[in-house]
Amino acid sequence: MRHRYSILLFPLHVFFDFACLNASFVGAYWLKFDTLDAIAQPPYQLLWVAFNVCWAVIVAITQPYIFPRQLFKAGPLLGKLLYLVVLHAAVISLFWVFVQGVYFSRGQLLYTYLLFVLSGGLFRIGGLLFLQEYRARGYNSRRFIVVGYGKLAHTITRFYEVHPEMGFRFQGYFDWYTADNEAQLAGSYNDIVDFVKREQIDCVYCCLPYVDNTQLKQLVDKSEILDIQVKLLVDFRGFLTKGASVEYHDFLPVLNLSTQEIDNFRVAFLKRCFDVSFSLLVLLLGSPIFLLVAAITRFSSKGPIFYAQERVGHRGHPFMIYKFRSMYVDAEKAGPSLSQGSADNRITPWGRFMRQTRIDELPQFFNVLRGDMSVVGPRPERQYFIDKITEVAPEYTNLLKVKPGITSIGQVRFGYAASVDEMVQRLRFDLLYPDRRSLLLDLWIIAQTLRVMVQGRGR
C-alpha cells in the first residue's frame, strides 16, 4: 500500500522534538545551577511536566509535522519551529503566573528555549539534507504522470528534473492520440486507470487547457479508489508576466487581468523625486566622464557608442534601455544570449573594464529621467528570458510591481547572470526589494554599488 507521506517521518519528528525539548530543559538547568540534583524534585518537577504536557497539546492541536514535499525546505521548517516555540513560551508564561512560580529561574527558562531552538533547528536542517540526498538518489520517491499533452506538461516535468531532491519520478504523458503527439505519449485516457494501478502512481497532474474536462471529472471521481492525488495545472504565465494577480473570493480563485496596484503615494513620490534629482546630479557632474567613456568606446572598437535593447519594465510595459556598448557589433546575431562574464569573447577589452566598474550602465540615467526606470530596482530583462525564468520561478512576476532599476540587491550581491539558473539565483535577492523599498534602503544599495564600482568587482 502506498502512502502520501513517509510513515516514519511523523513519529520520528515527534520523538526528536521531545528529546530536544527535554535535553534543553536539563541542559539549561545545569548551565544555570551547575548541578542536576534537584531537577526532578519540586518545584522544577512541576515545570518539567508542564513543559512536556504543553508541547504535546500544541502538537496535537497545530499538527505541525505534515509538510508537502514542495514546502519541505529550511525556511518553512525553521519558521514553524519558531512559531511553536513562541506559542509554547506564551502558554508556559501563563502557567508561571497561574502557579505564582516566583521560585522559577527566568535564566533557566531563557536557556531552555535557546537550546531548544538550536537543537531543534539542527535536527531539522540535518534531516532535511539527509532526505534531499536520499530522495535525489531515487529512494522514497513518488511516481507521477501528466494528463493533457502540451507546453505546460513539459514545464512540470522539467521542474522535477531540476529538483530531484523532491523525489518525484515522471512516468509518462497521457492524452488522446494525434499525429503530433503519438510518439510522446505513454497512453490515452482509456489507459490511465490500468496504468495507475499497474505502475503504482501516486500523483496525476492535469494540464489546462489541454486536458479533456469530461475525462478529468471521471479521474477525480476515481481518485479516492485509486489512492492518488489529482492536481490541476493552469498556465497563467502569459498573463502574470504582464502584471496580473490572483484574488480569492472565499475559496474561489479569480484571475485579475487588469490589476492596477495602488502604490504607497508617499514612497512613490519620494522615490521619484530622488530619482530625478540624483540622475540630474550624476548627468551634470559626470558629463566629463560620459564624454571620456564615449570617446574610448568609439575608438576602441568598431561600432556605435551606445547600445539599445528592448526590456520589460513596470507592469510588463516594454521600453528601450541604453548602455555604453561593451560588446562587438552583431554579438547576438545567432539569437538571444546572456553574457558569460570574463570568458565571453564577444566582450571588447574596454567593455570588460566597463562591466567590472559598471560604468557601461551610466546612460541608463536618461531612462530614469524618462520614467522608464528608477535608480534602484530589480534589473529589467528581455521577454525571452522572462518566459524562461517564469517556467522555473513564477514568483519573478512580483518584480514587475515596481520600476526596474540601474542597480539592485541582486546586482550588488550576485552580479550579472550568465544563465537562466543564475538569473533565478539572483532573483532570490531581488525579491526582497518590492515589499521593503524605502529611501534608506535605496541609499544603502547605492552605497554598496559605489563600493563594487571602486573595487572593480562587477561581473
Determine what percent of the chain is predicted with pLDDT higher than 70: 86
Residue 258 lies in a domain: no
Residues 120 and 156 reside in one and the same domain: no
Residue 254 lies in a domain: no
Residues 280 and 361 reside in one and the same domain: yes
Residues 301 and 379 reside in one and the same domain: yes
Residues 51 and 146 reside in one and the same domain: no
135-169 residue pLDDT tens:
888 888 889 999 988 888 888 888 888 888 888 89
Residues 311 and 422 reside in one and the same domain: yes
In 3D space, the residue among 401, 419, 309, 305 whose CA is nearest the CA of residue 359 turns out to be 305
**Helix residue ranges, H only, 34-165:** 44-62, 74-99, 106-136, 151-162
pLDDT of residue 341: 57
Residues 279 and 401 reside in one and the same domain: yes
Integer CA distances (angstroms), 179 to 13, 201, 215, 254, 389, in order = 51, 27, 21, 35, 31
Evaluate if residue 273 carries a pLDDT over 80. yes
Evaluate if residue 326 carries a pLDDT over 60. yes
Residues 107 and 159 reside in one and the same domain: no
Determine what percent of the chain is predicted with pLDDT higher than 90: 24
Q: What is the mean pLDDT of residues 392-396?
A: 84
Residue 253 lies in a domain: no
pLDDT of residue 338: 62
Residue 107 CA to residue 129 CA, distance in Å, equals 33
Residue 4 lies in a domain: no
48-100 residue pLDDT tens:
999 999 999 998 888 777 766 766 778 888 888 999 999 999 999 888 888 87
Q: What is the mean pLDDT of residues 322-343?
A: 71
Residues 287 and 434 reside in one and the same domain: yes
- Domain containing 432 equals 265-455
Residue 210 CA to residue 201 CA, distance in Å, equals 21
Q: Name the domain boundary from 77, 105, 136.
A: 136
- On average, the pLDDT of the chain sits at 83
pLDDT of residue 260: 47
Q: What pTM value is reported for the model? A: 0.47
231-242 residue pLDDT tens:
888 766 555 544
Residue 283 lies in a domain: yes
Residues 192 and 327 reside in one and the same domain: no
Residue 259 lies in a domain: no
Total domains, the chain? 3
Evaluate if residue 129 carries a pLDDT over 80. yes
Evaluate if residue 2 carries a pLDDT over 60. no
Q: Name the domain boundary from 136, 161, 184.
A: 136
> Residue 309 pairs with which residues in a beta bridge?
321
CATH number, domain at 181?
A: 3.40.50.720
Report whether 411 contacts 399 (CB < 8 A): no
Evaluate if residue 266 carries a pLDDT over 90. no
Residue of 333 and 442 predicted with greater confidence:
442
Residues 293 and 215 reside in one and the same domain: no
Residues 65 and 110 reside in one and the same domain: yes
Residue 242 lies in a domain: no
Residues 66 and 104 reside in one and the same domain: yes
Establish whether the linkage from the previous residue to 209 is cis, with ω within 30° of 0: yes
Residue 48 lies in a domain: yes
Q: Name the domain boundary from 115, 136, 157.
A: 136
162-194 residue pLDDT tens:
888 888 899 999 998 888 888 889 989 989 999
Evaluate if residue 319 carries a pLDDT over 90. yes
